[in-house]
Amino acid sequence: MSSTSDAELADRLSRAVDEGTEAVEAVLADLLAALDGGAVGLWLVVGENLECAGFAAHAGMAAEVAKAFREATATVPRSRVDLGIGQAVASGEPTIAHVEAPEGPLAGSASWLERFGAVSSLSVPFPTTGERRGVLAVSSAETFTLASGNGPRLLAIADALRIPGEPESR
C-alpha cells in the first residue's frame, strides 16, 4: 500500500471519530487488513483516562478474548503505564511491547499479547501538538520495530491523524 493510501486511512479515521464507534471500527478493520495485524485500537485522551473509540480484531481471534479486551480497555486510566497505550501517552513516544516480557514494565500488554496469540504490539501517540490527543495501537504475529516492517507505516498513519475536538491537557 502506498503512502497516499496510508494518508487516506489516516484521514478516514480522523473523520470517523465524529461518526461514532461503528464508523471508527470500519476504518480500523481496513487498517488491520492493510497492516496484516492481529488487532488494532484507537483510544482518545479524556481527562485522566484513555477512552476506546474503536477496536477491531482479526477474524481468527477468539470472540471471548476480543470481548474481554474491549471490556477491559473501554476506559483505561492514563496512569496504567504497564499497558503500551498508557506508556505511549505518558511518554509521548511510540511504545513496543513484547509477549516474551511478562514480568517487564509492560506486563499488562504482554499478558494481552499472549491471549491474542501475538508477538508484539506498537502503540503510537498522536498528535504532538494542537489537536485532540490519543493513541493508535496494533498487535501483530511479527515483531515490531520502528525502522522496518509495518512500524514506519503505523508511525506515519498516527502522525497524520487529526482528530477534531479540544486538545486535552498533558
pTM metric for this prediction? 0.91
> Is pLDDT above 70 for 39?
yes
> Is pLDDT above 90 for 93?
yes
Query: Are 110 and 98 spatial neighbours (Cβ–Cβ below 8 Å)?
Result: yes
> Is pLDDT above 70 for 1?
no
At 101-146, the pLDDT tens digits run: 777 789 889 899 999 999 999 999 997 555 678 999 999 998 999 9
pLDDT band at 22 (very low <50, low <70, confident <90, very high): very high
Structural domains in the chain, CATH included, are: 3-160 (3.30.450.40)
> Is pLDDT above 50 for 3?
no
> Which burial class, exposed, middle or buried, applies to 149 when counting CB atoms under 10 A from its CB (0-12, 13-18, 19+)?
middle
pLDDT band at 168 (very low <50, low <70, confident <90, very high): low
What's residue 108's pLDDT? 87
- DSSP characters for 64-108? HHHHHHHHHTSEEETT-TTSHHHHHHHHSS-EEEETT-TTSTTHH
